[in-house]
Amino acid sequence: MSSKASILAAIQKNKPVASPLPDLLSFPDEPNLVEKYEKGLSGNGGQLMQVTAIKNVQDYIEANFPREQLKASLVEGVEGNIDVNNISDPHDLEHVELAVLQGELGVAENGAIWMPEKNVVHRVLPFIAQHLIIILKKDTLLTNMHQAYEKVKVNDHGYGVFIAGPSKTADIEQSLVIGAHGPRSLTVFLMD
């Protein structure tokens, strides 16, 4: 008997009496989405900037990141100096200082942003960059994860990730350190 068959046979023999599948949950909408979102994001180590135009993001980058550093932008209106669409081996992204990406939606309860594969081109980009900027539209904010999973089709693409903050660890005596392996910062620009 194959291992699959023997595992399934053992399950058949041992499985408990059928129990029903619970209905999906829904809870009241959060009235102050932006405020709640900011709290959620900062709780996980990210920071929120509210801006009115994409130009403000460009200005921020120019003020904070030296010209010669490698920057990859997949957001229209924000200039980078490498074109990730022309890169075939993700290892070539090793020295990217900043990645600028468009988020699909944000979740107020925890700051999480849904980032499908099509928004990152290379799956490793949001992780390998030293710093990460995500642009998020205000009207994509949702109250909680239940709402997010109703909107997002997790298998539309081969890969997708909820990003809720920069890379962090507390494995040494529970002291929080930002910048474990991935981005040392996450800045979310919220736009109208």
Partner 1 sequence: MKTQSHAQAAAEFIKDDARTHWHDETLWHVRQKRDLSAQGIPEWETLRDTASATKDYVLSHLGELLEQFETNALANGIEVLWAKDAQEHNEHVYRILQENKVSNIVKSKSILTEECGLNHYLEDKGYDVVDTDLGERIIQFAKQAPSHIVLPAIHLKKQDIGEIFHEHIGTEKGASDPKYLTEAARQHLRKKFVEANAAITGVNFGIAETGGFVVCTNEGNADMGTHLADIHIACMGIEKLIPRATDLGVFLRLLARSATGQSITNYSSHFHKPAPGKKLYIILVDNGRTEQLGREDFKNSLKCIRCGACMNTCPIYRRSGGYSYNSTVPGPIGSILSPGKDLKKYSTLPFASTLCGSCSDVCPVKINIHEQLYKWRQVITENTDVDASKKLAMKVAGYTFGKPVLYDLAGKMARTALKITPDSLVYSSLNVWGKHRDLPDVPKESFKEWYQKNRKS
Q: Within 9-68, which residues bind partner 1 (CB under 8 A)?
A: 10-22, 24-25, 27, 40, 43-45
Of 29 and 62, the one with the shorter C-beta distance to partner 1 is 29
Residue 11: both structure tokens together = 């399950």
Distance in Å, CB of 45 to partner 1, minimum? 7
DSSP state of 142: E
DSSP 24-53: PP--PPPS-HHHHHHHHHHHTT-EEEEESS
Residues within window 79-98 making contact with partner 1, judged by CB under 8 A = 90-91, 94
**Sequence-ordered list of residues with C-beta below 8 angstroms from that of 146, at least 6 positions apart, any chain:** 24, 25, 26, 27
Which residue in the set 58, 118, 146, 191 belongs to the binding site for partner 1 (CB under 8 A)? 146
Place of tokens 């290379």: 122
Of 53 and 177, the one with the shorter C-beta distance to partner 1 is 177
Distance in Å, CB of 119 to partner 1, minimum? 13
Residues within window 98-137 making contact with partner 1, judged by CB under 8 A = 109-112, 122-124, 126-128
Distance in Å, CB of 75 to partner 1, minimum? 20
Q: Which long-range contacts (CB under 8 A, 24 or more apart) does 29-36 make?
A: 29/143, 30/108, 30/109, 30/143, 30/144, 33/108, 33/141, 33/142, 33/143, 34/138, 34/141, 34/190, 36/108, 36/109, 36/143
Of 25 and 63, the one with the shorter C-beta distance to partner 1 is 25
Distance in Å, CB of 103 to partner 1, minimum? 14
Stretch of residues binding partner 1 (CB under 8 A), selected from 52-60, 63-71, 79-87, 139-147: 139-147
Per CB under 8 A, does 179 bind partner 1?
A: yes
CA distance 104 to 13: 45
Which residues sit opposite 105 in a β-bridge? 114
Which amino acid makes up residue 129?
A
Which residue in the set 8, 35, 81, 83 belongs to the binding site for partner 1 (CB under 8 A)? 8
Stretch of residues binding partner 1 (CB under 8 A), selected from 53-61, 71-79, 96-104, 145-153: 145-153
